[in-house]
Structure 1
Amino acid sequence: MKKVCLLLPNGFEAVEASVFTDVIGWNKEEGDGSTDLVTVGTRKELTCTFNFTVVPEMLIEDVQVDHFDALALPGGFDQAGFYEDAYRSDVLELIREFDKQGKIIASICVGALVLGKSGVLQGRNATTYNLENGMRQKRLAEMGATVIPDQPIVIDRNIITSYNPATAFDVAFSLLESLTSLENANHVRKLMGFLPSE
């Protein structure tokens, strides 16, 4: 069973987290059955960007990277305290350890800024939120990433980044494809209505 660690800092955007739970969950029940997902929080109770409250299954201090095959990270809002929580040293160290072990890391929107802050995007291709005059993309470049500004999803070796919430499902399917196969990911896409059924 391939296990995904869904890392949830306080202030994360619920829709960006839910695509991972749904795609991985659909695969577990209706796809090839080879994936599972564990929600991992920085706190016992998390408040999402728009005041949705979540209780994670596990806390970050209990994570053993060896037990997981991939890390998924949604973005969030500054006003909700996302960066304050996501830039914590334990979060950044967890990201470094996943990268050091060559495990897949999938982020959506400004989740890439957290990866940039950790240092894993140094000299690597990536993207992040593309609106607001490219302010976030400039910030990511300052963190050492080579920003590909007009590409919705950028994959550099084991790391997937994307440029806004509209890319969320595509990132989750890219993660599923990396964990299983294109054929299986497309099967789940069809079951979920993203591709026409034959």
Structure 2
Amino acid sequence: MKKILLLLANGFEAVEASVFTDVLGWNMLEGDGSTLVVTAGMHDKIKCTWNFTVLPEIKIKNVNVDDFEALVIPGGFEEAGFFIDAYSNSFLDLIRTFNAKGKIIASVCVGALSIGKSGILKGRTATTYNLNDRKRQYELSKFGVKILENQPIVIDKNVITSYNPSTAFNVAFTLLEMLTSTENCTKVKKLMGFI
């Protein structure tokens, strides 16, 4: 079983998280049956940007990185407090540990900013939210990251980043393909009506 840790910060965007539970859940039931998503956060209850509330299965402090194949970080809104959790030492240390062990790290939109702040993207390529005068891409560049401005999804070694919420499904399918196979990912896409 390949376990994927879905790391949630207060203020996360529900749509950016839910695509992973759906794509990897479809794989569990209709694909090769190898993926299991586990949610984690710093709090007993986590509120997304639009007030949807999630009860994470485990707290960050109880995560054993060796139990997981991949880490997923959906983005969120600063106005909803996203960066309070996403820039916390607990978040950043977990990202560093996943990277040190060579695990896949995937993010959507401003989830990449946590990865950048952790320091693991210094000298590497990535992207993040590309609209609103590209200010989030500029922020990511301040962490020593080479920004690929117009590329929807950027893969640099073990890290997947993307440039806005519209890319979330493609990031989830990219992760599924990396964890399983092209054939299996194609099967799940067909069953979900994407091809």
Q: CA deviation at 1:42?
A: 1.5
Query: In 1, distance between residues paired with 2:86 and 2:157?
Result: 23
| Amino acid aligned to 1:173 | F
Query: In 2, distance between residues paired with 1:24 and 1:42?
Result: 23
| Amino acid aligned to 1:128 | T
1:3 aligned partner:
3
2:110 aligned partner:
110
The structure 1 segments of at least 4 consecutive aligned residues displaced by more than 3 Å after TM superposition are none
3-state SS, counterpart of residue 188 of structure 1 = helix
Query: In 2, distance between residues paired with 1:70 and 1:84?
Result: 23
Counterpart mapping for 1:1-198 below 5 A: 1-195=1-195
Query: In 2, distance between residues paired with 1:122 and 1:22?
Result: 32
After superposition, what is the alpha-carbon deviation per residue over 1:151-190, rounded to whole angstroms, capped at 9, x for unaligned?
0000000000000000000000000001001111111000
| Amino acid aligned to 2:111 | G
Query: In 1, distance between residues paired with 2:15 and 2:120?
Result: 25
Query: In 1, distance between residues paired with 2:154 and 2:147?
Result: 9
> TM-score, normalised on structure 2?
0.99
Q: CA deviation at 1:85?
A: 1.1
Q: Percent identity?
A: 63
- What 5-or-longer segments of structure 1 have no aligned partner? none
> TM-score, normalised on structure 1?
0.98
- What 5-or-longer segments of structure 2 have no aligned partner? none
3-state SS, counterpart of residue 133 of structure 2 = helix
Count the aligned residue pairs.
195
